[in-house]
């Protein structure tokens, strides 16, 4: 019996990372003003945090960020969404422990306009962006609306802010 338990436990440890799970993303709803010291602050759509579902967000996070629930993501895929952008888009080398300089704290963003247009038309972006609000508006979390990761990819809702395609699209929009 003990051997069976050990086998099942080891099987779970090795196989579980390949299974998709559900995650919660905290999204910055508005551009935050950079500090006079030059410190860069979060911009609209930036993915601030990635947590396993269900996560007990505090009242400050619920008031200041839009919480999205995303299913069908592996842990590895989810954690990538919280990655910073490293100089030259290089990645830290775990073996040599050499880390390229971080250019920006957040590499990925969610396009809130596309989110409203393509996923949840009833999303009230005015309420999402109102950080002075007294009532907390969390349409995805409160109604347990989950978005499939494949849907995010189909609608190109999560974007790498430093890819050439995104920079070109941003320049055209400005």
pLDDT at 13: 40
Who's near 120: CB < 8 A, 6+ residues apart? Answer: 139, 140, 145
Digit-coded pLDDT (tens) for 130-154: 877 777 888 888 888 888 888 877 7
The mean pLDDT of the chain is 78
Residue 52 has pLDDT above 60, yes or no: yes
Which pTM does this prediction carry?
0.74
3-state SS of 90-124 is CCCECCCCECCCEEECCCEEECHHHHHHHHCCCCC
Cα 160 versus chain centre, distance:
11
Mean pLDDT of 76-84: 86
The Cα 9–Cα 142 span in angstroms is: 34
DSSP-derived letter for residue 34 is P
């Amino acid at each position: 019996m003990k051997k069976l338990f050990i086998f099942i436990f080891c099987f779970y440890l090795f196989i579980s990372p390949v299974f998709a799970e559900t995650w919660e993303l905290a999204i910055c709803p508005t551009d935050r003003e950079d500090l006079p010291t030059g410190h860069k602050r979060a911009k609209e759509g930036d993915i601030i945090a990635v947590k396993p579902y269900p996560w007990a967000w505090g009242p400050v996070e619920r008031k200041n960020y839009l919480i999205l629930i995303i299913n069908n993501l592996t842990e590895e895929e989810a954690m990538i969404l919280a990655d910073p952008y490293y100089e030259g888009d290089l990645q830290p080398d775990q073996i040599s422990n050499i880390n390229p300089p971080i250019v920006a704290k957040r590499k990925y963003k969610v396009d809130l306009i596309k989110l409203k247009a393509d996923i949840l038309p009833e999303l009230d972006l005015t309420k999402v962006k109102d950080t002075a609000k007294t009532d907390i508006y969390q349409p995805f979390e409160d109604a347990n609306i989950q978005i499939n990761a494949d849907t995010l990819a189909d609608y190109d809702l999560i974007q790498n802010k430093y890819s050439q395609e995104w920079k070109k699209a941003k320049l055209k929009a400005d």
